[in-house]
Amino acid sequence: MSLPSLLAETPHSAPVTHVSDLVGWIVGLLVLIGLIYWLMRQGWLWRRTQQSGIPALPVAPKHTTQTLLELEGRYLGTTTAGDWLDRVVAHRLGERSLVELTLSAEGLNVVRPASSSFFVPVAELRGARTDRGIAGKVVPEGGLLVVTWEHGGKQLDTGVRADHPAEHESWVTAIEVLMRAHAKVTGEISIEHTEGA
């Protein structure tokens, strides 16, 4: 008798499926996912508690001068300035969302339809640059506009990715020009006050 015939006659056992083992694995996996989610949430709440000293965010003035620049894109988050992983979650600054930016002589208006909007007065702007990462999100080189500003004595970096990233450089230039113009005006006013005293 040939080998194939012998193999064909050899009884084969049907694969055994242990439903209880499968259910156990699924339940274990769900518990693990739930635990990870709970730990992430606790970390988020702890971070919010740590940042509770950050004062309420300013709102845009009712009347502003002519708009200098506008941009639509995605808000990727706000971190402590210089530390792209230290996400700020107070006042919902850590939530990613769609965003509309408007730059005027008064400052930067950050409108987030699905989250809280805020305003950065020109006096609080500290700089702008293009970058490639913020709040754990990495994009191609230059694919991110980062605006540095001060609030409550703390310097912050806010990252935005425009729908058209080529706009980032013009925003960096405009913010720097606006800051210099404000510093010049403020300096002149201070000198006038000193001379008048």
pLDDT value at 191 more than 60: no
- The CA distance from 84 to 36, in Å, is 23
57 versus 3: the higher-pLDDT residue is 57
pTM confidence score: 0.72
pLDDT score at 43:
63
> Which range, 16-25, 40-49, 131-140, is most confident?
131-140
List CB contacts of 149: < 8 A, sequence separation 6 or more: 108, 120, 124, 125, 126, 155, 156, 158
Q: Which domains are seen in the chain, by residue range?
A: 69-193 (2.30.29.30)
pLDDT score at 97:
95
Bridge partners of 130, per DSSP, are 145
- The CA distance from 52 to 47, in Å, is 9
pLDDT score at 136:
82
Decide if 132 contacts 97 (C-beta within 8 A): no
pLDDT score at 193:
53
Which percentage of the chain shows pLDDT scores above 90? 49
CA Rg value for the chain: 28
